[in-house]
Amino acid sequence: MQSDHELIALFVSEQDKKAFTLLVNRYQSTIRQFVRRLSGGNYAVADDVAQETFLIMYRKLNTFNGKSALTTWLYKIAYNSFLRFQQKEKSPETLEWLQQQEHETENTDPSSDIMVEQLMAKLSLDERAVLTLAYSAGMSHSEIVEATGHPLGTVKSHINRAKAKLANYLATQETKQ
């Protein structure tokens, strides 16, 4: 199996579309999951933002300097793409969907397969981002700083605050049952 650096070199030097396709196939599920968690479980948004992420990757892969892992670079692109998407999608349909998600998370069955996305909808965008990068992507705090552009102290605060919110929410749900 070829490394990311080998595939990037093939794509940049020879415009090898197969190399690019291998990179997309390697990371598309990870990026979609990340954006799905950012969006609180909206699969359509996750697909759109992931597609935008890989289009940007296609256009800018020659600027990737290799100082960080390719995944860190992709998470940064996905995060920024999601932020742009969110700013431009303040439509009534999007707001209605978010309100519906908020209502559905109040009636969450803890054994549900989609509980993670529903729980993530309880957190702020920044909290969802850093928590997903830390636990789903297994990134270090310094990698999260690079991907999100937040200072280290802010990353740590968001992670701690998110964990506390989720623990509190789960505790209140258990007392209701």
Give the residue-averaged pLDDT of 66-80: 93
State residue 111's pLDDT score. 42
Q: Identify whether the C-beta of residue 81 lies closer than 8 Å to the C-beta of residue 49.
A: yes
| Residue with token string 């933002």 | 49
pTM: 0.78
* pLDDT tens digits, one per residue of 50-69: 999 999 999 999 999 888 89
**Residues 73 and 161: beta-carbon distance below 8 Å:** no
pLDDT at position 114: 65
Q: For the chain, what percentages of helix, strand and coil (3-state, to nearest 5) are there? A: 80, 0, 20
Domains in the chain, CATH or no CATH each: 4-176 (1.10.1740.10)
CA 177 to chain centre: 32
Task: In whole angstroms, give the CA distance from residue 72 to residue 137.
Answer: 9
| Per-residue pLDDT, 112 | 43
Q: Write the pLDDT tens digit of every residue in 152-163.
A: 999 999 999 999
